[in-house]
Amino acid sequence: MILRKFLVCGWLTVSAVGAWAQLVFEPDRHDFGTIREVDGRVACTFTGVNRGTRPIVVLDVVTSCGCTVPEFSRKPVRAGDSIRIAVTYDPQNRPGAFSKELSVYSSDRKKVATLTIGGTVVPRPKSIEELYPVDAGGGVRLSTSHNSFSYLRVGREVHAAVEFVNTSDRAVSFRLRPKETSSFLRVTAPERIAAGERGVIDLAYSIPATAPRYGTIKDTFEVEVAGRSNGTVLTAHGIAVDDPAAYRGKPAPKMRLSGNILKFGEVNHDTPIERRTFVLANDGDGELVVRAVEHRGHIETSLRAGQRIAPHDSLTVEVSIRPSQADYGPLLDRLSIIANDPARPMRQLRITALLLAP
């Protein structure tokens, strides 16, 4: 008997499909019930009967990931005979309810059945190192050192929490020393952490509507424990945009780019300057206002913050590169445009070029 394994992930159900289907699985579902992650893999077996009049060969059993593995024979199943498909599910790092599906294909590449498995995984207890993976030194560990706020709505306050624990047997001083500040972030953190203490560092961004700022907002802090730093840096960042609530019941702009990538192609390195254009359009019924324009510094552009585009109008934007001021080889940049589009306030244009020796 030849066994073939395929990695799978999704509910596993096997049922007849169409009049040509011959393979019938009864039952075609298996419920593992409640299982524990610490107990490891679980398995079940589905039995299918060929109720047709000709032999059938199971060629593939397919799903989408490696949490579920089927084993089966590719030996022809004659009319009236049966085939067994063994299914193993790995619950490691998959707590909670699961539902996985396998699709069974015959040798003529038709889907002849679908099998389903399901259940609920009780998670294993996590270690301190797993709960607090960032070692800040001095026995203090953090749940994360990187906090992405996504969009920061002007006029709204948003919070994020960084959990901490002191694993040492003594109290330690704690300090977040600013390295890069935006003036929009408020940090609430303890000055001293007792032995065994667990708590939360609160990060709160608030950009006032009376003096708005748009685009990338970033703050970084070096973590000092007991007066020392092991190099751990705590970072918070987000993209400041307009509050979409301001456009409820009002005509709103809709930003659109003529493409997602702008290719310069092959350019001689000794070329003084090379130019390309793209179109920034407003498909909405309200005026589009460019709030911020950002890139990595490898390009120049005619687009500026404050430029306005009337409803259902467009603007041709120039992008240029100076090959002689860059290194040979690939040149990559990304142009980010932040505008007052309430549905999608940021669009990005990828810039590529290949700088060749003359």
Residues 195, 168: contact at Cβ < 8 Å? yes
Length of the chain: 358
Please, what CATH class does the domain formed by 128-241 belong to?
A: mainly beta
Residue ranges of the chain that CATH labels 2.60.40.10: 3-122, 128-241, 255-356
6 band by pLDDT with thresholds 50, 70 and 90? very low
Per-residue pLDDT band for 196 (boundaries 50, 70, 90) equals: very high
42, 171, 182, 221, 285 from 145: Cα distances, Å: 36, 22, 18, 10, 42
The CATH class that applies to domain 3-122 reads mainly beta
pLDDT of residue 185 exceeding 70:
yes
* pLDDT at residue 260, rounded to an integer: 95
* Average model confidence (pLDDT) across the chain: 92
Question: Residue 53: is its pLDDT beyond 60?
Answer: yes
236-249 confidence digits (pLDDT tens):
999 999 999 988 89
Note the pLDDT of residue 147.
96
Residues 6+ apart with CB under 8 A from 105: 58, 59, 60, 61, 62, 111, 112
Confidence of residue 358 (pLDDT cuts 50, 70, 90): confident
What band does 21 get if pLDDT is binned at 50, 70 and 90? very low
| pLDDT per position as a tens digit, 289-305 | 999 999 999 999 999 99
Predicted pLDDT of residue 109 = 83
pLDDT in tens, 68-80: 999 999 999 999 9
Query: pLDDT tier at 108 (50, 70, 90 boundaries)?
Result: confident
Residue with tokens 């593939």, as numbered in its chain = 60
The CB density around residue 337, as the number of other CB atoms within 10 Å, is 24
Per-residue model confidence (pLDDT) at position 63: 86
What CATH architecture is 255-356? Sandwich (2.60)
Q: Where are the alpha helices (DSSP H) in the chain?
A: 128-131
**28-57 per-residue burial string, b: 16 or more CB within 10 A, e: under 16:** bbbebeebebeeeebebebebbbebeeebe
Nearest to 101 by CA among 116, 111, 119, 113: 116
Q: What pLDDT was estimated at residue 155?
A: 94
